[in-house]
Chains A and B, each alone.
Chain A
Amino acid sequence: MVNLEYKLKNAYNKLFRENLILVAIAILVIVTASIEPVFFSAGNLINIMRQFGPLIMVSLGMTFVIIGGFIDLSVAGIISLVAVCTVLLIDVVGQGPALLLGLGVGALCGLINSMLLLSSGALTQAEALFMTYGMSVVYGALALILSNGSTKHIGWAKNATTYFTVIGSGKVGFVPVSFAVFAVSLIILYILQNKSYIGRVMKLTGGNITAARLCGLEVNRSIIFIYVVSGLMTAIGAIVLISRITTASPVIGFGYETNAILAVVVGGTTLEGGKGSVLRTVVGTLLVILLANCMNILGVSVYMQYILRGLILVVAIWLDRHK
């Protein structure tokens, strides 16, 4: 009897608790679609996919930072800076070099973040929170300075098909190019996370930085690694974004940091560090995007949406604590 009860409880935990987020997504979709069938229209699905593209890149990078025991608020500034730099550079050096330089700018921002943390010895998550927030402001301001505060357009790319715009809007067969970029990134990050040496060092550092250091592991290298990955993934996200809209506003990154953290935490990666997965973040990002989309379709006000988003973050942290 007791055994059965235990089994039932276990089954409940497995089915419901661990897959709570999938249940939430299902409910959200069913409710929205039954009220507004327009949810399943091709236009809306493409819309969801488009929003998914940039955010998932940022969230995947953020997952590494959080597993590694830190946090990165600078992604908002990095998106703006990369976007502005890339668009400005296209006319100067051409598309290919501009894209590579854009990625370089993102990685460099991540490197700067990690160097600042390491050199100051500010190695707690709270200190990282404020430090990267500060850097976000700096990167954002650089974007404003470089763009003179105005939105930059790539006029000639508006209606032309170049390989720059293909990233954002092109397709290979049925698969959007941005989705392919996402799939490849996910596979690489998944392997890094689960199979690589640096990935294990990252997890151990997130789990207990003191123990990791006393075992002779390269804790500093792990911190550089997570921030560079975050910067790079954010830059990819920025490029996916601007190649679709062919414009770069210097404040384009606004709000990405909170959405990315929301996606990671809702996905089930713990803020304590050490544990989590990029796969969970994929589901988390899906929920964040769907939530905004469904609310828009149902005509819920934007302010209400903010409240809901905040509550979901609180619930996610609460659930994580009461596992």
Chain B
Amino acid sequence: MHNTEKGVILQIENVCKEFPGVKALDRVSISVARGSVHGIVGENGAGKSTLMKILSGVYTKDEGTIIFDDEIITETTPMESMKRGLSIIYQELNLVNTLSVGENIFLGRLGELGGVRNVQREARKVLQRIGCNIDTRRLVEDLSVSEKQMIEISKALSFDSKLIIMDEPSSSLTADEMKELALIIQQLRESGISIIYISHKLDEIFEFCNTVTIMRDGHVIDTKPVTELTRSEMIAKMVGRTIENEYPPRPNCVGDTLLEIEGINTNKLKDISFTLNRGEILGFVGLVGAGRTEIVRAIFGADKVSGHRIKIDGKFVNIRSPKDAKRAGIALVPEDRKLQGLVLSFSVEENISMAVLDRLCRYGILSTSSESTVARRHVKSLAIKTPSERSRVESLSGGNQQKCIVGRWLELKPRVLILDEPTRGIDVGAKYEIYMLMKKIVEDGGSVILISSELPEVLNMSNRILTVCDGRITGEFDPLQYTADQIMEKALDFSGKEEDGESGI
């Protein structure tokens, strides 16, 4: 209480949070001035969301102090912090689609209004504060994304919020809707409400914010008034420098064209075409949700896509299911190890043999001895640390689990190995082993497509990089000739989307 200066609404001091194996937040300190718009930027995994979840009470912090409105906050719940005046508007808006606008604004508090009859009237009042004319009786499912956002903001206002945190509020707004949001933010600020604005879109940070905090790997790298920073400085701080020897030497064995992709179009992807060469590691850089995963899922036949063309060695191949992809020599290590990769309650052996099961069978009968041989071979060659091949894969560490999935595909000797976030949540040592494995695959004549949210990883391992933004391929780079900032610039290039708007935001 004594520490806070006047004019500070939120003071975060040395907050730490550890998840098993990961330090998500390391001595994070941020102070937000009353009536200001405070931006927070950082790559995926920098710790922004964890911090917000601690503020709202979804997670509890391990260490540190949080002072909100001159009051030290220890343990809290989302409802309590809202009542205290701290609201969070999440990217994936938290509204109940089947209820009306009014009911959503006062969700869980209908009793306080003295009956259902007052809901619509009170909701009307709140909506008017931000000049919003939506009929309060309409169902939320009939609203557009930007209208839903208004409802969320109104909901925050109805709590007499002193601080509103907006997590990626613009991610699905059109240019016009953005202007409306800009106006509302302006209004809120004038009425003395503070805002924490989290966004990947640096333009918005420069337009809306007074101050910006840059986070990376669970640390606060810098906090500065936006006027004292240039865009490229900001990107440099977000991306950071790479530590040497974290990566093996870049493989250099690129040959001629192996895979050609032409014209993938879905409601998310726009005209995706690219080629992959023999012995090449091709990196995809882009934000989570930019469409990277959708591109490889389309190639692998995991999502129903039509109208595109895939050529391998100059010949058209028809891939409509993962089974077809497997036959064509394409393998996919999916994004989510536990949900999409492993059968957790099964053994290491059964998980490794999954992709080659048909080869282990004769007349429909499975040969358990050849299954064991295959499993043992990969446990040995990939140095998977497990008590036995019969142990449950669930009991292994993340890195070893990932190696099981990679091993499963290596048995097929794939020509194209697609790795979607292969090092997410695994320790540095295991990461290095995965990098060595990628190197070995391309040296043996295979090709690799690497998707990763860790930019340094892509920069250091790839022979070529494609940037993906908003469902389009926005650039192609030789990582030896371009800097991280230049590549990141293209990965944040939303210009294709804003073309139809008139002026530059």
Interface positions of A (Cβ within 8 A of B): 195-201, 203-204, 207-208, 210-218, 272, 274-275
B364-A196 in contact (CB<8A): yes
Bound together, the chains give a CA A201 to CA B361 distance in angstroms of 12
8 Å CB contact of B357 from A201, A208, A211, A213: A201
Residue B185 interfacial (CB < 8 Å): no
B354-A211 in contact (CB<8A): yes
Interface centre among B300, B322, B334, B342 (most CB of A within 10 A): B322
The residue of chain A having its C-beta at the shortest distance from the C-beta of B327 within the complex is A216
Bound together, the chains give a CA A216 to CA B334 distance in angstroms of 13
B343-A275 in contact (CB<8A): no
Taking CB atoms, residues of chain B closer than 8 Å to A203 are 346
Taking CB atoms, residues of chain B closer than 8 Å to A195 are 365-366, 368
Residue B332 interfacial (CB < 8 Å): yes
With A195-B365, A195-B366 known, 11 other A-B pairs at CB within 8 A are: A195-B368, A196-B364, A201-B357, A203-B346, A210-B339, A211-B341, A211-B354, A214-B332, A215-B355, A216-B327, A217-B323
Bound together, the chains give a CA A215 to CA B350 distance in angstroms of 12
Interface centre among A198, A212, A214, A272 (most CB of B within 10 A): A214
List 27 A–B pairs whose Cβ atoms lie within 8 Å, in order of A's numbering.
Answer: A195-B366, A196-B364, A196-B365, A199-B366, A200-B357, A203-B346, A204-B346, A204-B354, A207-B343, A207-B345, A208-B339, A208-B342, A208-B343, A208-B344, A211-B341, A212-B354, A213-B302, A213-B322, A214-B322, A214-B334, A215-B408, A216-B325, A216-B327, A217-B323, A218-B323, A274-B345, A275-B345
Bound together, the chains give a CA A275 to CA B361 distance in angstroms of 21
Taking CB atoms, residues of chain A closer than 8 Å to B357 are 197, 200-201, 215, 217
The residue of chain A having its C-beta at the shortest distance from the C-beta of B361 within the complex is A197
Bound together, the chains give a CA A216 to CA B356 distance in angstroms of 9
Bound together, the chains give a CA A162 to CA B50 distance in angstroms of 74
Bound together, the chains give a CA A98 to CA B357 distance in angstroms of 39
Taking CB atoms, residues of chain A closer than 8 Å to B340 are 210-211, 214
Bound together, the chains give a CA A210 to CA B334 distance in angstroms of 10
Bound together, the chains give a CA A199 to CA B364 distance in angstroms of 9
A197-B364 in contact (CB<8A): yes
Bound together, the chains give a CA A262 to CA B327 distance in angstroms of 42
Taking CB atoms, residues of chain B closer than 8 Å to A210 are 339-340
Bound together, the chains give a CA A274 to CA B355 distance in angstroms of 17
Taking CB atoms, residues of chain A closer than 8 Å to B342 are 208, 211
Bound together, the chains give a CA A217 to CA B332 distance in angstroms of 13
Bound together, the chains give a CA A216 to CA B302 distance in angstroms of 9
Query: Residues of B within 8 Å of A, CB-based: how many?
Result: 29
The residue of chain A having its C-beta at the shortest distance from the C-beta of B333 within the complex is A214
Can you list, as one digit per residue, whether each of B326-352 has a CB less than 8 Å from chain A (1) or not (0)? 110000101000011111111000100
CB within 8 Å for A216 and B343 given contacts A195-B366, A196-B364: no
* Chief secondary structure at chain B's binding surface: helix
8 Å CB contact of B322 from A198, A204, A216: A216
B341-A198 in contact (CB<8A): no
Interface positions of B (Cβ within 8 A of A): 300, 302, 321-323, 325-327, 332, 334, 339-346, 350, 354-355, 357-358, 361, 364-366, 368, 408
Bound together, the chains give a CA A147 to CA B364 distance in angstroms of 41
8 Å CB contact of B346 from A213, A216, A274: A274
B326-A216 in contact (CB<8A): yes
The residue of chain A having its C-beta at the shortest distance from the C-beta of B301 within the complex is A216
Interface centre among A196, A211, A216 (most CB of B within 10 A): A216
Interface centre among A201, A208, A272, A274 (most CB of B within 10 A): A208
CB within 8 Å for A216 and B321 given contacts A197-B358, A207-B345: yes
Q: Distance (Å) between the CB of A222 and the closest chain B CB?
A: 12
Bound together, the chains give a CA A207 to CA B344 distance in angstroms of 8
8 Å CB contact of A211 from B323, B343, B358, B361: B343
Taking CB atoms, residues of chain A closer than 8 Å to B322 are 213-216
8 Å CB contact of A215 from B327, B339, B354, B368: B354
Q: Distance (Å) between the CB of B422 and the closest chain A CB?
A: 15
Closest 7 CB pairs of A and B: A207-B343, A216-B326, A216-B323, A208-B343, A197-B361, A215-B354, A216-B322
The residue of chain A having its C-beta at the shortest distance from the C-beta of B358 within the complex is A197
Bound together, the chains give a CA A272 to CA B346 distance in angstroms of 13
Q: Distance (Å) between the CB of B418 and the closest chain A CB?
A: 11
The residue of chain B having its C-beta at the shortest distance from the C-beta of A205 within the complex is B343
Q: Distance (Å) between the CB of B371 and the closest chain A CB?
A: 9
Bound together, the chains give a CA A220 to CA B341 distance in angstroms of 18
Interface centre among A195, A199, A215, A218 (most CB of B within 10 A): A215
The residue of chain B having its C-beta at the shortest distance from the C-beta of A192 within the complex is B364
Taking CB atoms, residues of chain B closer than 8 Å to A218 are 323
